[in-house]
């Protein structure tokens, strides 16, 4: 087993990573149950994993109640949040109880936000079942729902008590979902770890093929990188945690244009957004065109979109920038961008001209 700690003083928590961990999750959950029924929130796609988890809990004498929600990004909504909170209140969830979020990023974000506001805050445990959730959304305490104005605009920082990651659950994912999760894996190499980007170039195929060693290395490395950044800047006030948003400003605009649907998965939007961020950086003379091309080539080789055309986005630059104006990071009419001086040399730029971004996007192939 590999264990990474998110160091937040009294609110520090462990991230356990091990193949087959789901079937043994009760070892970690039973001490948190306090002799009470444990609520598990999941979605229809995760029922097989739900059965494994509930059987493990039952075997250790822990009762559980499952709340099964519809799958998909539309579940991160006001109506479903209300339904979930009402159901958790019906179950008598207390502040010291631990609700289990079993699923991908949608379930983790929704359950985390519900627990942040339920009785002014109750506890929860993340058991992510997608690669994207394992390496990104389950760690760090960002919770949210989507609105008509954009993605994740209503939310709260609310850290989990524990994260349990079983790489074996990825066997049930389709290749597209694994590749989308990989968009968040390779991001960590692009931010500040050139050696990890090189590892990704040589091992992405092994990860997609389900090789255990590649899976564990990628997950553990990504989680450790995120834990380090979160510990240094939990609430994104020092500018350090903002580095994790590489590719997201462009990517969220593409997702918004795609209607936050399966037409463009989040990790696919991030991959395209990273390639766009490097091309825009090259346009500004910050990094070489060769490095931007190298990033784009790796995205293509990994089966991920490297720009607007590959993402199926035909909207104008101004339309995409209009989506960006709803970004949570907007401040006094300006939007910080993650740009790069090279692979592994990302930095936050607060002087970017959105009109220039629109012009850049208009030059991109459709």
Active centre residues (catalytic)? 120, 142, 184, 226, 236, 241, 245, 248, 252, 266
Report which of 136, 184, 145 is spatially closest to residue 163, judged by C-alpha positions.
136
Report which of 189, 61, 54 is spatially closest to residue 127, judged by C-alpha positions.
54
Contacts of 338 (CB under 8 A, 6+ apart): 242, 243, 245, 246, 247, 248, 249, 277, 346, 347, 348, 349
Contacts of 9 (CB under 8 A, 6+ apart): none
Query: Is the dihedral angle over the CA atoms 174, 108, 59, 86 positive or is it negative?
Result: negative
Calculate the alpha carbon distances from 76 to 10, 184, 355 in Å.
30, 20, 31
Instruction: Compute CA 13 distance to the chain's CA centroid, rounded to the nearest angstrom.
Output: 18
Q: In a 3-state reduction of DSSP, which class is residue 40? A: strand
> HSE on the CB side for 206, CA within 13 Å?
13
Q: Please identify which residue in the block is written with the tokens 């209009």.
A: 322
Report which of 157, 89, 153, 99 is spatially closest to residue 126, judged by C-alpha positions.
99
- Measured distance CA(363)–CA(361) in Å, rounded: 5
Please provide the DSSP assignment of 46-106 as one string.
GHHHHHHHHHHHHHTT--EEEEEE--SGGGSSHHHHHHHHHHHHHTT--TT-EEEEEESHH
Contacts of 198 (CB under 8 A, 6+ apart): 189
As a 3-state breakdown, the chain gives helix, strand, coil percent values, each rounded to 5, of 55, 15, 30
Q: What is the C-alpha radius of gyration for the chain, rounded to an integer number of angstroms?
A: 20
């Amino acid at each position: 087993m590999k264990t990474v700690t998110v160091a937040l003083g009294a609110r520090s928590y462990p991230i356990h990573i091990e193949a087959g961990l789901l079937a043994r999750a009760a070892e970690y959950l039973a001490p948190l149950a306090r002799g009470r029924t444990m609520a598990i929130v999941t979605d229809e796609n995760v029922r097989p994993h739900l059965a494994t988890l509930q059987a493990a809990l039952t075997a250790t004498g822990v009762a559980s109640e499952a709340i099964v929600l519809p799958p998909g990004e539309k579940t991160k909504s006001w109506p479903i949040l209300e339904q979930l909170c009402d159901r958790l209140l019906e179950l008598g969830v207390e502040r010291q109880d631990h609700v289990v979020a079993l699923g991908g990023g949608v379930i983790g974000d929704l359950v985390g936000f519900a627990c942040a506001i339920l009785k002014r805050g109750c506890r929860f445990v993340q058991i992510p079942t997608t690669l994207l959730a394992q390496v990104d959304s389950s760690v760090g305490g960002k919770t949210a729902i989507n609105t008509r104005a954009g993605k994740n605009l209503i939310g709260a920082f609310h850290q989990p008590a524990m994260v349990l990651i079983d790489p074996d659950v990825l066997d049930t994912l389709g290749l597209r979902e694994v590749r989308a999760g990989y968009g968040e894996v390779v991001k960590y190499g692009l931010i500040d770890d050139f050696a990890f980007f090189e590892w990704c170039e040589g091992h992405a195929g092994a990860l997609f093929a389900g090789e255990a060693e590649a899976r564990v290395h990628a997950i553990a490395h990504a989680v450790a990188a995120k834990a380090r950044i979160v510990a240094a800047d939990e609430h994104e006030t020092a500018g350090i945690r903002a580095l994790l948003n590489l590719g997201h400003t462009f990517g969220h605009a593409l997702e918004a244009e795609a209607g936050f649907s399966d037409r463009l998965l989040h990790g696919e939007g991030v991959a395209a957004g990273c390639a766009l961020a490097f091309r825009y950086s090259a346009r500004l003379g910050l990094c070489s065109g060769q490095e931007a091309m190298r990033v784009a080539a790796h995205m293509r080789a990994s089966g991920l979109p490297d720009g607007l055309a590959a993402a199926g986005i035909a909207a104008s630059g101004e339309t995409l920038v209009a989506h960006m104006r709803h970004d949570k990071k907007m401040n006094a009419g300006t939007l910080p961008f993650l740009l790069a001086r090279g692979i592994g040399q990302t930095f936050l730029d607060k002087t970017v001209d959105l009109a220039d971004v629109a012009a850049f996007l208009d030059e991109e192939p459709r």
